[in-house]
């Protein structure tokens, strides 16, 4: 890695999801020096793990590709992957930041030929597929990963597989001696865009995500639809691989609940409406989607999308907070138990598959930020003057859809530019 050069007029962006990429690009395209750090081996964030985007139902790869092209064309932007911020001190216009970069064990010579992957045998759960699929110890995080460079899982180092990977590489791209690196930089402003993580569905015990095979979370369901994903793009039951045509969606799974996340995650209603369209796409008229909900929160212009799904005769809305799920031993069907609050009758409804619309929580837990920063009760960063030259973008600020995340990122870029311009004005 060549030396990282930064000054008090540099903007640091933390997190390379859609928000961090947008903020970094907006600032860099305004002529500012930007350093974008991402803790994973590739940028792209959670959006790259979605099958399609609401409301237009286009593929996230399009948006990603446009941003990657803009990034490659911009000399003001420096990307550091496998990197996290461990400490921040100072004030707006003059922050000292410490970065920790983990070894990739693969250098810039990598052509992504994939020979190292073929040579190694050890398998690990794929983080990208939420553990639904294994990946090799030498791997490309996903097809559109950027940088297009392989990575060696640190658990491989010191094993015969690491030597096999090195021997397979014709380009001298594998460096098993790479070490963790610490860098200290001066920057003028910081944009925090570390996004969100899915609420741990296993914690919602009555729904049995940890023990009933045919109960999956909404993010896992997105991965199922990917042709390169764990089921090759098929909607099937994890228990027996049979097509799942009768699917239940449970809203507010772990959200609006004082035992889990108190807040409404705002996106999961829209995500479910979108996911019912996946069933129509795969099975035409031969499917049944049942949405169990407390109330549907489709934000402003997305109302139209809601109306379209409501008009689908194969989609039923059941106003009820599901009390529990059991598994029918003979069929493997998950059976939903509860009371329909519109007719006040009890039900025990079997389905092929259950999708839990889990909530979004901030990626960085409250109290774990490497600097003093004002966050709200849920752990999202507040727009507070006390945060000085540190601004939140996208889902670091709130549970947002992509459209709003991008707007928030653009606003943060503008605020950060104002900070570094003030510094330039004072020094000039």
Ligand X SMILES: Cc1cc2nc3c(=O)[nH]c(=O)nc-3n(C[C@H](O)[C@H](O)[C@H](O)COP(=O)(O)OP(=O)(O)OC[C@H]3O[C@@H](n4cnc5c(N)ncnc54)[C@H](O)[C@@H]3O)c2cc1C
The site for ligand SF4 (CB under 6 A) is made up of: 106, 110-116, 150, 168-169, 171, 173-174, 251-252, 255-256, 264-266, 268-269, 297, 357, 359
Binding mask 287-326 for ligand X (x = CB under 6 A): ----------------------------------------
Could you count the other beta carbons within 10 Å of the beta carbon of residue 218? 23
Nearer to ligand SF4, 13 or 174 (CB): 174
Report the nearest approach of ligand X to the CB of residue 380 (Å): 11
Per partner kind, with CB cut-offs from 5 to 8 A, the member of ligand SF4, ligand X, none near residue 18 is ligand X
Restricted to residues 241-260, the positions that interact with ligand X (CB under 6 A) are none
Per partner kind, with CB cut-offs from 5 to 8 A, the member of ligand X, ligand SF4, none near residue 104 is none
Binding of ligand X at residue 54 (CB under 6 A)? yes
Distance CA 351, CA 248 (A): 6
Per partner kind, with CB cut-offs from 5 to 8 A, the member of ligand SF4, ligand X, none near residue 154 is none
Distance CA 220, CA 15 (A): 22
Distance CA 79, CA 37 (A): 6
3-state secondary structure of 385: helix
Report the nearest approach of ligand SF4 to the CB of residue 281 (Å): 22
Report how many residues bind ligand X under the rule CB under 6 A.
Answer: 39
Could you count the other beta carbons within 10 Å of the beta carbon of residue 213? 15
Measuring CA to CA, which residue among 144, 147, 120 is closest to residue 134? 120
In 76-221, where do the E strands start and end? 77-80, 83-91, 94-101, 123-125, 134-136, 138-139, 151-152, 181-187, 189-192, 196-198, 215-217
Report the nearest approach of ligand X to the CB of residue 38 (Å): 5
Contacts of 114 (CB under 8 A, 6+ apart): 140, 150
From residue 258, how far is each of 8, 277, 378, 379 by CA, in Å? 43, 31, 12, 15
Per partner kind, with CB cut-offs from 5 to 8 A, the member of ligand SF4, ligand X, none near residue 283 is none
Binding of ligand X at residue 266 (CB under 6 A)? no
Helices (H), 102-159: 115-119
Burial 139-161 (b: 16+ CB within 10 A, else e): bbbbeebbbebbbbbeebeeeeb
Contacts of 58 (CB under 8 A, 6+ apart): 52
Per partner kind, with CB cut-offs from 5 to 8 A, the member of ligand SF4, ligand X, none near residue 106 is ligand SF4
Cβ-contact 306, 313 below 8 angstroms: no
Restricted to residues 12-51, the positions that interact with ligand X (CB under 6 A) are 14-20, 37-40, 45-47, 50
Restricted to residues 354-373, the positions that interact with ligand X (CB under 6 A) are 360, 363-364
From residue 201, how far is each of 205, 211, 253 by CA, in Å? 8, 11, 8
Distance CA 149, CA 116 (A): 12
Report the nearest approach of ligand X to the CB of residue 341 (Å): 25
Nearer to ligand SF4, 88 or 291 (CB): 291
Q: Among 336, 405, 413, 416, which residue sits at the site for ligand X (rule: CB under 6 A)?
A: 405
Nearer to ligand X, 174 or 397 (CB): 397
Report the nearest approach of ligand SF4 to the CB of residue 394 (Å): 17
Report the nearest approach of ligand SF4 to the CB of residue 37 (Å): 23
Q: What angle do CA 377, 382, 387 make, to 5 degrees?
A: 125
Nearer to ligand X, 59 or 427 (CB): 59
Report the nearest approach of ligand SF4 to the CB of residue 355 (Å): 11
Cβ-contact 34, 24 below 8 angstroms: yes
Query: What is the contact surface with ligand X in residues (CB under 6 A)?
Result: 14-20, 37-40, 45-47, 50, 53-54, 84, 193-196, 218-219, 222, 267-268, 271, 274, 360, 363-364, 394-395, 400-403, 405
């Amino acid at each position: 890695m060549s030396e990282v050069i930064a000054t008090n007029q540099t903007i640091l962006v933390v997190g390379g999801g859609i928000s961090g990429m947008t903020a970094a690009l907006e600032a860099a395209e305004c002529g500012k020096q930007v350093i974008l750090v991402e803790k994973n081996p590739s940028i792209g964030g959670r959006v790259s793990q979605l099958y399609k985007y609401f409301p237009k139902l286009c593929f996230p790869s399009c948006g990603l590709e446009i941003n990657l092209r803009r990034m490659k064309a911009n000399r003001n932007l420096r990307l550091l992957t496998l990197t996290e911020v461990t400490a921040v001190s100072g004030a707006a216009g003059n922050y000292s930041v410490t970065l920790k970069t983990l070894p990739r064990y693969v250098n810039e010579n990598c052509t992504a030929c994939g020979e190292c992957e073929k040579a190694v045998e050890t398998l690990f759960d794929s983080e990208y597929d939420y553990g639904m699929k294994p990946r090799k110890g030498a791997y490309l995080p996903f097809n559109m990963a950027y940088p297009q460079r392989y990575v060696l899982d640190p658990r491989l180092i010191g094993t015969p597989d690491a030597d096999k990977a090195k021997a397979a590489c014709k380009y001298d791209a594998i460096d098993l001696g790479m070490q963790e690196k610490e860098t200290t930089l001066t920057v003028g402003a910081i944009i925090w865009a570390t996004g969100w993580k899915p609420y741990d569905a296993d914690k919602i015990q009555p729904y049995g995500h940890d023990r009933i095979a045919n109960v999956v979370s909404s993010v896992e369901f997105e991965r199922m639809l990917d042709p390169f994903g764990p089921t090759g793009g098929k909607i099937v039951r994890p228990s027996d691989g049979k097509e799942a045509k009768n699917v239940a969606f449970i809203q507010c799974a772990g959200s609006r609940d004082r035992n889990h996340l108190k807040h409404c995650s705002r996106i999961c209603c829209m995500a479910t409406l979108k996911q019912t369209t996946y069933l129509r796409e795969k099975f035409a008229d031969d499917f049944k989607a049942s949405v169990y909900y407390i109330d549907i929160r489709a934000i402003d212009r997305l109302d139209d999308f809601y109306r379209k799904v409501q008009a689908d005769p194969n989609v039923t809305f059941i106003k009820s907070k599901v009390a529990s799920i059991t598994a029918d031993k003979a069929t493997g069907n998950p059976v939903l138990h509860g009371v329909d609050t519109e007719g006040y009758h009890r039900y025990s409804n079997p389905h092929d598959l259950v999708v839990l619309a889990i909530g979004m929580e901030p990626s960085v837990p409250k109290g774990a930020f490497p600097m003093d920063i004002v966050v709200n009760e849920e752990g999202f960063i507040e727009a507070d003057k006390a945060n000085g030259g540190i601004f939140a973008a996208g889902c670091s600020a709130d549970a947002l859809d992509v459209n709003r995340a991008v707007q928030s990122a653009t606003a943060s870029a503008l605020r950060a530019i104002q900070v570094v311009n003030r510094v330039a004005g004072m020094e000039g």
